[in-house]
Amino acid sequence: MQAQSITVHNLTCERDERLLFSGMDFALQSGDILQVIGPNGTGKTSLLRILAGLMPALEGDVRYGDASVYTPTGRERWQRERLFIGHEPAVKASLTPEENLAWLCALNTPVSREAIWQALENLGLRGFEDVPCHQLSAGQKRRVALARLYLQAHPVWILDEPFTAIDRDGVASLERHVLAHAEAGGCVILTTHHSLEHLPQVRQLDLQRVT
């Protein structure tokens, strides 16, 4: 699925009466990968949550294609076409990886058991499909959350610290998957403190320079 253009205009964010950034402008097209960088507390998560539609901005607009995501039509399409994975793994501890993914995907489009097992295998979780998630390591829980990147067909990915707790080979494999998504017409916005060794053409947005 081809991503539409994403246009951010005059975006301003304040939290607890502290201005994090103001007048932010940028535009992304299909094929773009944007890495949001900046020291702790500069507002990377806040920006990603605003872009995902999970938090209001103080001012400004986000357009997806020709519609503002703040209009009913624009919001409906944006919610359908963007996948947000937050910095917490957000897997339910009492459920297995398979159950977590079946539930998460069903919120959008149900997927088959075979597809879930294949995605878990891609993430190195073969043999853990039916183990309750509270028995998994931090990196394994993160991998369960990231398995959605192999299961769902959203053109736009918004990923907050996706590589936290992931080992070196896992990061390399996920970077290649991000690149393949962009090359297939997707668009990816992510924040990470890792340097992205396998993503040479990544654009950077440094929040320290926006305010």
Ligand X SMILES: Nc1ncnc2c1ncn2[C@@H]1O[C@H](COP(=O)(O)OP(=O)(O)OP(=O)(O)O)[C@@H](O)[C@H]1O
Closest CB to ligand X among 19 and 184?
A: 19
Closer residue to ligand X (CB): 54 or 180: 54
Provide the minimum distance between the beta carbon of 13 and ligand X in the complex, in angstroms, as a whole number: 8
Q: How far is the CB of 55 from ligand X (least distance, A)?
A: 9
Q: Which residues bind ligand X (CB under 6 A)?
A: 15-16, 20, 38, 40-46
Task: Give ∠ CA 105-186-138 in degrees, rounded to 5.
Answer: 50
> CB-based contacts of 38: which residues, under 8 Å, 6+ apart?
44, 206, 207, 208
User: Residue 41 CA to chain centroid, in angstroms?
Assistant: 19
Question: Nearest distance from residue 21's CB to ligand X, in Å?
Answer: 10
- Residue of 33, 68, 20 lying closest to 159 (CA atoms): 33
Rounded Cα distance between 81 and 58, Å, is 24
Which residue, 20 or 24, has its beta carbon nearer to ligand X?
Answer: 20
* Residue closer to ligand X (CB basis): 47 or 136: 47
Min CB(87)–ligand X separation in Å? 7
H/E element, 116: helix 113-122
